[in-house]
Amino acid sequence: MEKSLSGFVKEMRKQFGLTQVDLAEKSGVGLRFVRELEQGKTTLRLDKVNQVLALFGRQVGAVRIGNEEDKA
């Protein structure tokens, strides 16, 4: 089952024993950004999302949607 980005960040934050404040400080983004990210806001700056994800060894990338036969 695929997780949403917001669910992934929240789960990883908890696994690492971080509060939202800790995550914001360690990743160099604001607390409001972390809250919006975890709440699933649909319009977020990707560079800031990647700053947060970098703490967990991840980054946002392009992924294929649909069937493999549906190549563009």
Tens-place pLDDT, residues 8-27: 999 999 999 999 999 999 99
More confident call, 70 vs 30: 30
**Burial of residue 33, with CB atoms counted within 10 A of its CB: 0-12 exposed, 13-18 middle, 19 or more buried:** buried
For the chain, list the domains and their CATH numbers. 5-56 (1.10.260.40)
Q: How far does CA 20 lie from the centroid of its chain?
A: 13
Which tens digits make up the pLDDT trace of 32-49? 999 999 999 999 999 999
Which of residues 59 and 1 earns the better pLDDT score?
59
Q: What is the pTM (predicted TM-score) of this model?
A: 0.83
